[in-house]
Amino acid sequence: MSMTRRFLFIAALAVLGFLPLASAQDLSSVLKPPKGAPVALVVFEDLQCPMCARTAPLLQKAVEQYKIPLIVYDFPLPMHNWSYQAALYARYFDSHAKPLGYEFRDYIYQNQMEINPNNLRGYAERFAAAHKVDLPFVIDPQGKFAAEINEDRQLGQRVGIQHTPTVYVVSDKAPRVEEVKQPETQLFQMIDAVKP
């Protein structure tokens, strides 16, 4: 295989998602804590993913214990039939208040096993009513929330996300960003390793 063909083949694999597009070294230029925060947690999640539901309380515990921000990127997987719509609802609640969006995500995770494409709207309506928020029939008429979700998904593809949840501990000082491959056992020690 010629060099040109080999390059085109590797580029095609990367575009199709078979190869990660960014190395761990490159991640530090893309995934950073918010300004003023020395450390943060970053998660790429899918609201229909059972492992995301199991990991969410652990991330919340770390956020509360270490007083660090959590940056959530939506990465709805194509095989999940209601996760994209759930992410749209989450973005709608984010637009009212970020904590409300996080609370909605937790609510969805807690009810995940009962949710399906036909009753998701009902869950969103009950959540909205309980929080005294109007839920319009069309929640994203200009496509703003969909564009944000698509940007998150594109970022995830650029950095080589292969599964959800994908969790990172990011620091403004660490030269590399590494995935927390086993949050249950590694999350707190990885935060301890980079916190000031």
* CATH code, 140: 3.40.30.10
Average pLDDT over residues 126-131: 98
Assigned domain for 133 exists: yes
Element (H, E) at 161: none
Average pLDDT, the chain: 88
- ∠ Cα 52 55 59 (to 5°): 120
| Average pLDDT for 25-31 | 70
Task: Flag whether 9 is in a domain.
Answer: no
In-domain check, residue 5 = no
Cα end-to-end distance, the chain, whole Å = 50
Asked, for residue 8, whether it belongs to a domain, the answer is: no
Mean pLDDT along residues 172-188? 89
Confirm whether 28 is domain-assigned: yes
- Does residue 185 lie within any of the structural domains? yes
Q: Domain residues for 67? A: 22-194
- Peptide bond before 165: cis, by omega within 30 degrees of 0? yes
Confidence at 196, pLDDT banded by 50, 70, 90: confident
The yes-or-no verdict on residue 107 having pLDDT over 70 is: yes
Number of domains into which the chain is organized: 1
| Residue 166 maps to a domain | yes
Quick one: tokens of 158? 């650029």
pLDDT digits (tens, 9 = 90+) for 67-105: 999 999 999 999 999 999 999 999 999 999 999 999 999
Is 146 contained in some domain? yes
